[in-house]
Amino acid sequence: MSYYLKHLQVVAERFDEALTSQGFDSVLIYAGQPRVAFLDDNAYPYRVNPFFKYWVPVTESPKSFIFYRKGEKPRVFLFQARDFWHAQPQLPPGEWKEACDVTLIDNIASVRSALGKELENTAFIGETFPPMDEWPVAAINPQGLIDHLHYQRAVKTDWEIDNMFKANVLAARGHNAARDAFFAGKSELEINQAYLQAMKFRETQVPYNSIVALNQHGAVLHYDVYDPEAPAEHRSFLIDAGAYYNGYCADITRSYAAKDGFYAELIEAVDAAEQAIIADVKPGVSYLDLHVSMHQKIAQILAEFGFFKVDANTIYERGYTRAFFPHGLGHFIGLQVHDVGGFLKNAQGDAFERNPQHPFLRLLREVEENQVFTIEPGIYVVDQLLEEFDGNEDFNWNRIAELRPFGGVRIEDSVRVTATGAENITRDAFTSLK
């Protein structure tokens, strides 16, 4: 049996379990549709419902539906508009067409007619638009069902992992092109264009706005301005950019120095710390513990590079690392860049409370085999975060000022948890291009 057919079998089993636990017979999943901008007749870019592409690798067919009744073959209603204004979406080839009952529709109301009374004990998942908001379904986006499915989604199938590897290969190709554009002295806008061109993507086809940051812009964690003019001097480059493959995501960050020296050495230190944390990943460890361990490694780097006048243990104990590494160590990744289920304790929806010392950490679950998550430490000079420590003599402010023109450093890979450790999907993707 192929990876996809095995995946479809797992998805059906997960839905059977979730639907039974919540008292539903069936589920109707809406792919979604573009929303029109306020006071305009142009739509925002379309993003498919993640639950739709969980079943089938169809990401560009808005107004389509999947209907699944427990134990039966999924029914896919593919919307094909009678429209001479626009090109029809090109559907990907593959086994999904044979594995599902596919019906072409040109009117949403035909789905209501086709399902009839079956809707009465059906859970609807997706955004509702007229006339769906008046359909006689049992529930719309019931939280218990969604929690159950989100909890299960954290463990990936072989098909999902293969798609994520291929997404990483695409993104790695783009990253290599962006790196070369940086060393060629290009602007942020030109670097972003090189990234997209290398993957043959439109900007709306990447999973999030790429972060393409030169020099001090690297200190803005979600910088996505894309200055069209190159700076007078290229000192540093931080790129956080991803890709899709069959609806699955890559999310990669790299930092580069224009020349040897202090900043280049800092990149090497953060990269080594990231690799050391990945070496600690295995089933049964706590992701929070990995995050705390990274803060301790960041404290060591801050001490070794002279950013403080006190030792690494004092830096960590006094909470200084949070001013330089304010975000979480990483997050689940899969159908969504920040994939779901990171706070869920179980399929019943019980959740972990956010850690007050690390409020931006998106993943608190214990590590399990076949989870896929990112590891992305960083060190930045964020003046807003340093304000509360103004005048603190533990800080070496002159050394911090040396880093400010470079912005910061971040390194990010996606890792798959194996039975005994971790497989670095991102590094394997880069290696495959050599």
Q: What percent of the chain has pLDDT over 90?
A: 94
Cα–Cα distance for residue pair 51/108, rounded to 1 Å? 19
Residue 180 corresponds to which tokens in the numbers above? 């070369």
Q: What percent of the chain has pLDDT over 70?
A: 100
pLDDT surpasses 90 at 55:
yes
Do the Cβ atoms of 259 and 341 come closer than 8 Å?
A: no
The CATH topology of domain 3-153 is: Creatine Amidinohydrolase; Chain A, domain 1 (3.40.350)
Residue type, 181: A
Cα–Cα distance for residue pair 324/380, rounded to 1 Å? 5
Q: What is the mean pLDDT of residues 176-193?
A: 98
Residue 207 corresponds to which tokens in the numbers above? 């999973």
Place of tokens 């990945």: 278
Q: What is the pLDDT of residues 232-259, one digit of tens each?
A: 999 999 999 999 999 999 999 999 999 9
pLDDT surpasses 90 at 429:
yes
Length of the chain, in residues: 434
CATH code reported for the domain at 158-432? 3.90.230.10
Positive or negative: CA dihedral 356, 357, 361, 365: negative
Cα–Cα distance for residue pair 98/43, rounded to 1 Å? 33
CA distances from 102 to 1, 65, 76, 93, 419 (A): 21, 10, 5, 13, 38
At 65, is the pLDDT very low, low, confident or very high (cuts 50, 70, 90)?
A: very high
Cα–Cα distance for residue pair 402/307, rounded to 1 Å? 10
Q: Which residues contact 287 (CB under 8 A, 6 or more apart)?
A: 329, 330, 361, 363, 364, 365, 366, 367, 373
Q: Which range among 193-197, 264-268, 349-353 shows the weakest confidence by mean pLDDT?
A: 349-353
Place of tokens 């035909």: 110
Q: What is the pLDDT of residues 111-159, one digit of tens each?
A: 999 999 999 999 999 999 999 989 999 999 999 999 999 999 999 999 9
pLDDT score recorded for residue 72: 97
CB atoms within 10 A of CB 375: 26
At 84, is the pLDDT very low, low, confident or very high (cuts 50, 70, 90)?
A: confident
pLDDT surpasses 80 at 89:
no
pLDDT surpasses 90 at 93:
no
Q: Which residues contact 104 (CB under 8 A, 6 or more apart)?
A: 77, 78, 80
Cα–Cα distance for residue pair 27/69, rounded to 1 Å? 7
Task: Output phi, psi for 239, to 5 deg.
Answer: -125, 125
At 221, is the pLDDT very low, low, confident or very high (cuts 50, 70, 90)?
A: very high
In 3D, which of 336, 358, 269, 357 has the Cα closest to residue 306?
A: 269
Cα–Cα distance for residue pair 293/288, rounded to 1 Å? 9
Q: Which three-class secondary structure string do you get for the chain? A: CCHHHHHHHHHHHHHHHHHHHHCCCEEEEECCCCCECCCCCCECCCCCCHHHHHHCCCCCCCCCEEEEECCCCCEEEEECCCCCCCCCCCCCCCCHHHHCEEEEECCCHHHHHHHHHHHHHEEEECCCCCCHHHCCCCEECCHHHHHHHHHHHCECCHHHHHHHHHHHHHHHHHHHHHHHHHHCCCCHHHHHHHHHHHHCCCHHHCCCCCEEEEHHHHHCCCCCCCCCCCCCCCCEEEEEEEEEECCEEEEEEEEEECCCCHHHHHHHHHHHHHHHHHHCCCCCCEHHHHHHHHHHHHHHHHHHCCCECCCHHHHHHCCCHHHHCCCCCCCECCCCCCCCCCCECCCCCCECCCCCCCCCCCCCCECCCCEEEEECCEEECCHHHHHHHCCCCCECHHHHHHHHHHCEEECEEEEEECCCCEEEHHHHHHHHCC
At 331, is the pLDDT very low, low, confident or very high (cuts 50, 70, 90)?
A: very high
Domain with CATH 3.90.230.10 in the chain: 158-432
Average pLDDT value for the chain? 96
Cα–Cα distance for residue pair 323/302, rounded to 1 Å? 11
CB atoms within 10 A of CB 258: 18
Cα–Cα distance for residue pair 376/77, rounded to 1 Å? 40
Task: Output phi, psi for 367, to 5 deg.
Answer: -75, 135
Place of tokens 């017979």: 25
36 bridge partner residues: 43
CA distances from 193 to 32, 170, 173, 187, 321 (A): 29, 15, 13, 10, 35
Q: What is the pLDDT of residues 371-421, one digit of tens each?
A: 999 999 999 999 999 999 999 999 999 999 999 999 999 999 999 999 999
At 88, is the pLDDT very low, low, confident or very high (cuts 50, 70, 90)?
A: confident
